Amino acid sequence: MGDHVKPPKLQDLLNLDGYLNPHAGEITRRYQEFVKALDQIEHRCGGLDNFTQSYKQYGFNVLPDNSVHCLEWAPGAEAMALVGDFSNTIANTGPQSHDLSYFRRLEHGDTSVQECGLREVGTNAPGINI
């Protein structure tokens, strides 16, 4: 979808500003790319409204059971881990360790981890305050 779609009212724009006439092809190409991106958002994200509210899912979120879920977009990542005083993860150990907080790959470049082993910490202690 998106191929051979002309921008609405393109001729009106060109009539309004004649200096744009030599760029009509590029304006059309960019509009086609926009239509393709919008179509992907509609199909992959469930619509533009859901897409614009993805900040509610991405990043760190505390769940009702007091665990913390982290969703990140990292399409080129080979491995990611949640490391810190608040988890049981040991740096440089590798994803073969099942008890560590390694992100798992999801569709479209998303990665996800849920850390259930967080400890409650005071405001002066290192870690995540829950």
Q: In the predicted model, is pLDDT for residue 100 greater than 80?
A: no
Q: In the predicted model, is pLDDT for residue 11 greater than 90?
A: yes
Residue 86 banded pLDDT, cuts 50, 70, 90: low
Q: Alpha-carbon torsion 20, 21, 25, 28, what sign?
A: positive
The arithmetic mean of pLDDT across residues 15-24, rounded, is 97
Q: In the predicted model, is pLDDT for residue 76 greater than 70?
A: yes
Which superfamily does 54-115 belong to?
Answer: Immunoglobulins (2.60.40.10)
The arithmetic mean of pLDDT across residues 66-93, rounded, is 68
pTM for the model: 0.55
pLDDT at 99: 44
